[in-house]
Structure 1
Amino acid sequence: MSAAAETPVLAQTKARRFGLFVCFMAALAGLLFGLDIGVISGALPFIAKHFVLNDRAQEWIVSSMMVGAAIGALGAGALSWRLGRRYALALAAVLFIVGSLWSGFAGSPEQLIGARLLLGLAVGMASFTAPLYLSEVAPRQVRGAMISTYQLMITVGILAAFLSNIGLSYIADWRWMLGVIAIPAAFFLAGVLALPDSPRWLLQRNRAAEARAVLQRLYGNPADVQAELDQVNEDSTRPQRGWSLLRANSNFRRSVLLGVVLQVFQQLTGINVVMYYAPRIFEMAGFGTHEQQLWATVIVGLVNVIATFGAIAFVDRWGRKPILYAGCAVMAFGMCALGFLMHAGVVGLTAQVLAVASLLLFIAGFAMSAGPLVWILCSEIQPQQGRDFGIAVSTLVNWVANMAVAATFLSLLSTVGEANTFVLYAVLNVVFAVVVFFYVPETRGVSLEKLGRDLMAGKRLRDLGKDDLAPSARGQAVVKTNEAL
């Protein structure tokens, strides 16, 4: 049947299927991201034993990936602009394959650190490009859910890594734990090559016919395609300005700073402390054997996956801010409870169960809120002409903060004590909620172009996307926007 002979219902059905395929394949970058986060927690005790490593050396092996990720995120903006989102993801997939194989064959701690630096480059590129690509191809009515799918795949990857760690722990083979990630990376590479280019990127390259063809495959309905083209065409033809826009425009500096703050607080919740050092935390909670610690870690991964479905289900119904408030409250309570239990001493089965419950409560709070929503917001709040640069900066900061948390956790435990460390993270979650209240906009159902126009017109960050201007004020805002651009 030709495209002209297709009924509107059939065309839209095919478009929905194609859109789901595109979003799933792009989100699969999160699976590799999650695998690399989760695998090190189970492999680290075996690596430490094999190479006879102290705490500082273990911290470097864990945090070296974040160094590479920071570098990868910094360069990803230029790569995705020049090559396109699709080929930037393909390059990340190649680096995942090479880095995973090198990790499995590493003959020294230095080689392992080098391999994890390479994996970090892949993770940094993917963590920048995948949410950006998803924000540009997903219809705004389901944009939050589609970008949340990326975070869901991260949690699935972490859980898969935890399960793999248990299976391979019986033969104490950390090389297989690290090297097996090359297999899903190869599948990801094959899938990415079948994706279309971002229609917004194509418009920026003056390839309007190709952009229309992609939108037709994504929407199915010609009227919806034209409406989307009318919405994005004016902003999308403006070139990326990056540094020059940052220097010249204070409004753009506000959005970049908000992205940076959100990514810092995502790490200061304490989530990756739990993911990287979960067996160590469960050891503090009284789980004596490595097998018990790994099985407890699998429960963490399972809760992480299940709670992320909550974000996907409600982020485009309830909105970003209400979910963030709830998540911050749950995370703060979970960390505070764990800190008090550590202070009292985790002795006996009841105390152990409460400690695990507190940790799982924290994980659920993060997975339903800060995990997916920070990536969503950072991909939404940047104006079109500075989007690549703004998202690159916030992603870079995410990995710098991630590295700082991972590289200092064991030292923090020995300096301020176990209980105080977790109470500190509880306080930081409360501060996060305050930042959300005063500075974060509600972006549910708002087009990327409207958010960008409101930002460049000088609206308060928390008011972006709101239709609260009087007609005369709205006209003045348009004039200011044109002057800013």
Structure 2
Amino acid sequence: MVGIATVRSDSSSEDLQPSTTRATILGILAALAGLMFGLDTGVVAGALPFIATDFHASDALQGWIVSSMMAGAAFGSLIAGRVSARFGRTGAMLFAAILFLAGTLFCACATLPSILIIGRIFLGFAVGIAAFAAPLYISEITVESARGAMISFYQLMVSLGIFLAFISDSLLASGGHWRWMLGIMAVPAIIFLGIVLILPHSPRWLMMRGKKDHARRVLKSLRSDEEVAEAELADIQARLQKSSDAGWRLFKSNPNFRRTVFLGILLQVMQQLTGINALLYYAPRVFQAAHFGTNAAIWATTLVGLVNMTLTGVAIMCVDKWGRRPLLILSCVIAGTSLLGVGVLLALGAQTFSAQLALCGFVLLFVAGFAIGEGPLVWTLCSEVQPTRGRDFGIGCSTVTNWVANWAISNTFPLVMGHYGAAKTFMLFAAFNGLFALVTLMFVPETKGVSLETLETNLFAGKRLRDLGR
């Protein structure tokens, strides 16, 4: 989910140009990085109960097995910018594809928990790098009129990957084949590796490396009109010349910029405190707490992936119609209320069939609530509120925060659930969703239909964060 943050919405002469078939196909192929992200995020949920049995894993060890990927992703996101700048967006994705394959093989062949954790760290490196490079590549090869849809497609691929991983786990659950659950991910990893090898470098990166003629050839193959390609090439060159006053220096010197950086960090922390990743990673364990059998719990987890994917698609269609603030507040209310229902049912025991159905319904409602707002809109807002000169720095800070918070939640969830019980744990997550709604009311601006230039002007004029879109 991290890719939306890199989308650029600068005006240029290409704004009204339709996307060419070649640019669209290349964008779709690059978006398969999101599929890999989702597959490796979702697969551990179904495999974990069997891994815990084979390795006699404690709650703490299960937390490390799951969260080690997030730790790797945090580090990967830290180095992704440098790798992408040095070797290109395609070079970074190639490196990620190799790591995806290596990590998958380590996990599938692990004879010790430590080897499994090393494999998960490799997968995390891959996710952190790919989640930066792929959306950036897509944003640099597609025209402005198609850019938002293509970036959103990347997010949809992440949700699809989670769903497919849950289906794979469900089909293999009857035999407890956790090595096959993890090892089968080598197939899409090899396919992704082959696809990356045929992707051309992005024109912007080629210009950054001083390869103007090469950039011109690539851009002409991606645009429907030669004049448009030449105008865009000139625009890229002009913007590269203006990009030196950015990042850390702006953060140190400008308190208004610091406000949006801290807002991005706050939104990412709140997103993780909703409980979504704790549920995605440990869904079978949650259902088992409600007396579902192991196989039934894993199939119920597949429903979670289906709802997450479907409602992410709905969110993509609604975000520019309903606006950010109303959709985000509605999302917080639905998610918080449904988690409160989960907590109450778990506190009452949820031993009857009707109670189990109700609990499953509340869990699916929570996932639906998250998917329509708290999930995709956080990344959209983190991109939109950052000024042009400091966008890469601000987005980088929020992305690293997301992974660190993700690691902290996924690492401690089994311990918290084991100590306080499932009911109190989900009631706590319900309270955090309520807090997220208050944070939205107090600090989040409405950015629907507002240009990035207007948001930036209002920010540096000292307007309150929630008024930046007015």
Secondary structure at the aligned position of 2:175 is classed as coil
Amino acid in structure 2 at the alignment position of 1:440: V
- Whether the 8 Å contact between 1:235 and 1:384 is mirrored in structure 2 is no
Correspondence for 1:264 among 253, 265, 269: 269
**Residue deviations 1:262-302 (CA, integer Å, cap 9, x gap):** 21111111111111111111112221x21111111111111
> In structure 2, how many angstroms separate the alpha carbons of the residues matched to 1:212 and 1:310?
37
- Whether the 8 Å contact between 1:235 and 1:449 is mirrored in structure 2 is no
Amino acid in structure 2 at the alignment position of 1:248: S
> In structure 2, how many angstroms separate the alpha carbons of the residues matched to 1:448 and 1:232?
18
Equivalences for residues 118-133 of structure 1 within 5 A = 118-133=122-137
**Residue deviations 1:54-73 (CA, integer Å, cap 9, x gap):** 11111111111111111111
Partner of residue 296, structure 1: 300
Amino acid in structure 1 at the alignment position of 2:269: V
Partner of residue 279, structure 1: 284
Partner of residue 435, structure 2: 431
Amino acid in structure 1 at the alignment position of 2:291: G
Partner of residue 42, structure 1: 46
Amino acid in structure 1 at the alignment position of 2:271: Q
Correspondence for 1:237 among 237, 241, 258: 241
**Residue deviations 1:33-74 (CA, integer Å, cap 9, x gap):** 111111111111211121121111111111111111111111
Correspondence for 1:114 among 110, 114, 118: 118
Equivalences for residues 82-231 of structure 1 within 5 A = 82-205=86-209, 214=218, 216-221=220-225
How far residue 224 of structure 1 moved from its aligned partner, in angstroms, is 5.6
Deviates more, 1:193-202 or 1:149-158: 193-202
> In structure 2, how many angstroms separate the alpha carbons of the residues matched to 1:37 and 1:251?
35
Partner of residue 353, structure 1: 357
Partner of residue 5, structure 2: none
Equivalences for residues 446-457 of structure 1 within 5 A = 451-452=455-456, 455-456=459-460
Correspondence for 1:396 among 396, 400, 404: 400
Secondary structure at the aligned position of 2:160 is classed as helix
Distance 1:125 1:45, change over 3 A: same
> In structure 2, how many angstroms separate the alpha carbons of the residues matched to 1:455 and 1:318?
23
How far residue 140 of structure 1 moved from its aligned partner, in angstroms, is 4.5
- Whether the 8 Å contact between 2:77 and 2:129 is mirrored in structure 1 is yes
Partner of residue 13, structure 2: none
> In structure 2, how many angstroms separate the alpha carbons of the residues matched to 1:142 and 1:462?
28
Distance 1:69 1:156, change over 3 A: same
Aligned: 1:377 with 2:381: yes
Amino acid in structure 1 at the alignment position of 2:378: V
How far residue 210 of structure 1 moved from its aligned partner, in angstroms, is 5.2
Secondary structure at the aligned position of 1:157 is classed as helix
Partner of residue 339, structure 1: 343
Amino acid in structure 1 at the alignment position of 2:282: Y
Partner of residue 9, structure 2: none
Amino acid in structure 1 at the alignment position of 2:319: V
How far residue 132 of structure 1 moved from its aligned partner, in angstroms, is 3.4
Query: What runs of 5+ residues in structure 1 fail to find an aligned partner?
Result: 1-10, 469-485
> In structure 2, how many angstroms separate the alpha carbons of the residues matched to 1:263 and 1:29?
21
Partner of residue 27, structure 2: 23
Correspondence for 1:248 among 225, 240, 253: 253
> In structure 2, how many angstroms separate the alpha carbons of the residues matched to 1:430 and 1:133?
36
Amino acid in structure 2 at the alignment position of 1:260: I
- Whether the 8 Å contact between 2:335 and 2:369 is mirrored in structure 1 is yes
Equivalences for residues 54-69 of structure 1 within 5 A = 54-69=58-73
Amino acid in structure 1 at the alignment position of 2:54: H
> In structure 1, how many angstroms separate the alpha carbons of the residues matched to 2:282 and 2:306?
16
Partner of residue 6, structure 1: none
Deviates more, 1:363-372 or 1:194-203: 194-203
- Whether the 8 Å contact between 1:144 and 1:376 is mirrored in structure 2 is no
Aligned: 1:70 with 2:74: yes
Amino acid in structure 1 at the alignment position of 2:172: L
- Whether the 8 Å contact between 2:339 and 2:366 is mirrored in structure 1 is yes
How far residue 407 of structure 1 moved from its aligned partner, in angstroms, is 1.2
**Residue deviations 1:289-346 (CA, integer Å, cap 9, x gap):** 2111111111111111111110222223333333222211211111111112122221
How far residue 121 of structure 1 moved from its aligned partner, in angstroms, is 0.7
- Whether the 8 Å contact between 1:140 and 1:447 is mirrored in structure 2 is no
Query: What runs of 5+ residues in structure 2 fail to find an aligned partner?
Result: 1-15
> In structure 2, how many angstroms separate the alpha carbons of the residues matched to 1:202 and 1:233?
11
Secondary structure at the aligned position of 1:194 is classed as coil
Q: Percent of counterpart pairs with the same letter? A: 50
> In structure 2, how many angstroms separate the alpha carbons of the residues matched to 1:408 and 1:265?
16
- Whether the 8 Å contact between 2:59 and 2:418 is mirrored in structure 1 is no
> In structure 1, how many angstroms separate the alpha carbons of the residues matched to 2:207 and 2:430?
45
**Residue deviations 1:388-431 (CA, integer Å, cap 9, x gap):** 33222211111111111111112212333322211211121122
How far residue 138 of structure 1 moved from its aligned partner, in angstroms, is 4.5
Distance 1:82 1:379, change over 3 A: farther
Amino acid in structure 2 at the alignment position of 1:283: Q
Deviates more, 1:452-461 or 1:238-247: 452-461
TM-score, normalised relative to structure 2 = 0.88
How far residue 122 of structure 1 moved from its aligned partner, in angstroms, is 0.7
Partner of residue 10, structure 2: none
How far residue 16 of structure 1 moved from its aligned partner, in angstroms, is 3.6
- Whether the 8 Å contact between 2:286 and 2:422 is mirrored in structure 1 is no
Deviates more, 1:411-420 or 1:38-47: 411-420
**Residue deviations 1:367-405 (CA, integer Å, cap 9, x gap):** 222222222333343334433332222111111111111
Distance 1:19 1:392, change over 3 A: same
TM-score, normalised relative to structure 1 = 0.85
Deviates more, 1:17-26 or 1:65-74: 17-26
